[in-house]
Structure 1
Amino acid sequence: MSGVLEVSADWLALREAEDARARSRRLAHLAAGLAAGAAGDLPARTRALTVHDLGSGTGSMMRWLAPQLPGPQNWVLHDWNAGLTARAVGAAPPHDRAGRPIAVDARVTPLDGLTAADLAGADLVTASALLDVVTAPEAHAVVDACVGVGAPVFLPLSVTGDVEVRPWDPRDIRFARAFNEHQRREVDGRRLLGRFGAPIVRGLFARAGWHVRTALTTWRLDRRDPRLLGEWFDGWVDAAAEQAQVDRDRSLLDQAVAYRELRGGQQRNGGLSAVVYHLDVLAWPR
């Protein structure tokens, strides 16, 4: 497999609103200014602002960021799943900051083979919720390609591994630790970076001499969106239990049933919530 993990369109749709709320608008505003400066801002600009979106899925990052950027705009969606990008290309396009529809193109692009040529003409490169599910070679390829093309890079919503489930339970720590180990698992010969992805990429850009800024951002899950909270929690515990099987951690597996029952009851009563921490990264050349 030469791309990152497969995700379902249903899951992407379920999380889109919370992703939009969580991403750093401060970094997005700075990215917009950098991108406009790279392209030459209106009215002098005669060509479209070109944005390359890595691991674009169904286009949620485009729908969120395009209205914050000046136009005209041309988005190039890169993903290893052509079915997901087809949804983005086939849907009505979002509008730029002036209310004009943007142009959208899509490419099937494995990250481990990404080069500066794939990003040719980019005024901005972006990727949302990506860095924790790539490998070290893929992270290096992304950074090398971005440095080669010289465009600013905005990479929001990489998990840090830090989670607060409320009300607190002493088992939270063990499940969080097992989940974080699961994020670092090997899949089809690919060792994922998990919570180290964003810090590694931040360090690679800094080593290349680029400016780097970060923002700690959060999902805040509660009874306002019980389906998202439930899906997240089930997936979180499922991953921890899968890792416990790999580690032959019988005590954690034995705790999983009672832990699910407790948290399920709390959610049904409206008392369960969670804060999931992410790191947003913005980098640009000096």
Structure 2
Amino acid sequence: MSDGYDPTGVSHDPGAFARWLRLREAADAAARAADLLEPLRRHLPAGGPTVIHDLGAGTGSMGRWLAPRLPGPQHWVLHDRDPALLARARAAPPAAADGVPVTVETRRADITRLTAADLADASLVTASALLDMLTADEVERIVGACAERPTLLTLSVVGRVELTPPDPLDDEVATAFNDHQRRGVAGRTLLGPDALDACVAAFARHGVSAIVRPSPWRLGPRQADLAADWFTGWLGAAREQRPELAGPAEAYGRRRLAQARAGRLGVLVDHRDLLAGCR
């Protein structure tokens, strides 16, 4: 259920994952820190074209959010391991608000293996809901590849969830979920909610400063379907991490899921957005 992308390309069903990305797209768009756009625009080439490499692009939602907010002609290069997701991205390309040309190409690639040479023509590198699914070494490699150009990394989870009305089991489930985010997978130890700090530190080692802003999801009655899907995955990951939760979580899960589906569960999932190389 991670908020993030699986860079190994082996742990999710493409159809289900595409549905999850579609369901969350509006909440992501509402959450992203729009105040990072002004410093970003100042560092893009005047007159264009702007070449944007989007890492772990999925179905292309970052482009659909960002392209209308940037000036000039744009060329988007979408990187992902999953050809089915890339096909969906090609079918729903971004469009600029002022009618300037926006072109798209897709590249099937393991983003954890990209180098600076792969991004040499980039005016900007972007990613969304990605960092928590990376290891420390993978963050180092991606930062090394991006360090010479502006980089916008949005919607990184930081380990804080708030549910309303509160329930005595909320904190225990949240702790188990955060531990699950830091789990080992096929010899890889994920950073989970520690990834943002690791990324900021990695940029600093390259002499690149970063601006960090909050970008929380705030889900209410209008996002009942998303809240229910998110809660199901959140609780499932916590139970996988701590099987002893299975008994206590049974009634808790039924109660919370009923609240979510009825639009009575408020959900705050804390994220951070990071803009590097634009001070």
Cross-structure match for 2:62: 61
The percentage of counterpart residues that share the same residue type is: 47
State whether structure 2 residue 264 is matched by structure 1 residue 271.
yes
- CA RMSD, aligned part only? 1.7
State whether structure 2 residue 130 is matched by structure 1 residue 130.
yes
CA distance in 2, matches of 1:78, 1:106: 6
Equivalent position SS for 2:76 = strand
8 Å Cα contact 2:223/2:263 also seen in 1: no
Among candidates 35, 49, 52, match of residue 26 of structure 1: 35
Question: Once the 2 structures are TM-superposed, how far is the Cα of residue 174 of structure 1 from its aligned partner?
Answer: 0.3
8 Å Cα contact 2:154/2:272 also seen in 1: yes
CA distance in 2, matches of 1:131, 1:161: 13
Q: CA 1:185–1:262 in structure 2 vs 1: closer, same or farther (change >3 Å)? A: same
Equivalent position SS for 2:100 = coil
Cross-structure match for 2:102: 102
Cross-structure match for 1:210: 208
Normalization by structure 1: what TM-score?
A: 0.89
CA distance in 1, matches of 2:249, 2:59: 33
CA distance in 1, matches of 2:85, 2:63: 13
Q: CA 1:9–1:267 in structure 2 vs 1: closer, same or farther (change >3 Å)? A: closer
8 Å Cα contact 1:74/1:102 also seen in 2: yes
Greater shift, 1-10 or 204-213, is seen at 1-10
Equivalent position amino acid for 2:127 in 1: A
CA distance in 1, matches of 2:262, 2:143: 46
Equivalent position amino acid for 2:129 in 1: A
Structural mapping, 1:131-280, within 5 Å = 131-147=131-147, 150-245=148-243, 250=244, 252-280=245-273
Residue-by-residue CA offset, 1:167-191 (whole Å, 9 max, x unaligned): 1112111000000011111222221
Equivalent position SS for 1:225 = helix
Residue-by-residue CA offset, 1:10-62 (whole Å, 9 max, x unaligned): 00000000000000001133222222xxx2x12xx5xx210000000010000
Q: CA 1:265–1:12 in structure 2 vs 1: closer, same or farther (change >3 Å)? A: closer
Question: Once the 2 structures are TM-superposed, how far is the Cα of residue 136 of structure 1 from its aligned partner?
Answer: 1.5
Cross-structure match for 1:15: 24
Q: CA 1:90–1:265 in structure 2 vs 1: closer, same or farther (change >3 Å)? A: closer
CA distance in 2, matches of 1:191, 1:136: 8
**How many corresponding residue pairs?**
270
Cross-structure match for 1:72: 73
CA distance in 2, matches of 1:64, 1:2: 22
**Structure 2 residue ranges without an equivalent (≥5):** 1-5
Equivalent position amino acid for 2:252 in 1: Y
CA distance in 2, matches of 1:219, 1:108: 29
Which has the higher Rg, Structure 1 or Structure 2?
A: 1
CA distance in 2, matches of 1:209, 1:225: 40
Cross-structure match for 1:3: 8
8 Å Cα contact 2:232/2:257 also seen in 1: no
